[in-house]
Amino acid sequence: MNAIGPVEPGEDTYDHESTPAPPVRRLSPRRARRLRTALAAATAAGIAAAGVTLYLTRPEPPPEPLPPWPSQSVSVAYAGEMSRPRAGERNFTFAVIFRQGSAPPTTVRRIAQPSAALSVTASPPTPFAVKTGKPRKLIITMHIRECGEVPRNAGLPFLEVTLRNARAIEKHSYILGPEYANDLSGALTVACPRTRVS
């Protein structure tokens, strides 16, 4: 005979309804406070450890690009104003303009020229800074040391300029162009009329 009724528990099972629930254990206020403090400390330590790990494993920013070489950022142009010396005078002047491209400032440390028979001084004197957007006009005084050695017809007369920026110190020769060459040749010819053309 088949009958449908409540299922009776089998072996190794128990009746949930008849088994009493375990008693709820209450923490004393002191223990609860200790537990909360310990949990807060553990959470703070975990957050700090995560922050330190994140800081130590962060990607390094790319290095700052180096500024250009000084000679690549500074230009020198002949501005004319060549004075005309009289025969026998040993000094004459002309103007040049220094310009800085879009780069950090560059310091002009020295201005010279290659001939042993000539020397130059600048006003304002070196060193001075050249900044982007602020061209510097200089008056160069050419001093003739020895008329007999003056190269009046030099094909490409130039100025030697020593520059310094955050990247390097560099000595560079600036060719000031044909107008400068003509004016310089004319001034030297007048100042040293008996000098043979070299």
| Contact present, 141 and 184 (Cβ < 8 Å) | no
- Cα angle: 92, vertex 109, 162; to 5 degrees: 85
In this predicted model, what pLDDT tens digit does every residue of 154-198 receive, in sequence order?
555 788 999 999 889 999 999 888 898 888 888 888 888 764 444
| pTM > 0.85 | no
Residue bearing tokens 């807060």: 40
Q: Are strands 128-130 and 136-144 parallel, antiparallel or unpaired?
A: unpaired
Q: Does residue 149 surpass a pLDDT of 60?
A: yes
Tally the C-alpha atoms within 13 A of residue 14's C-alpha that lie toward its C-beta.
Answer: 6
User: Does 95 score more than 90 pLDDT?
Assistant: yes
- In the chain the domains, ranked by start, together with CATH numbers, are 70-191 (2.60.40.10)
Phi then psi for residue 188, to 5 deg, are: -65, -35
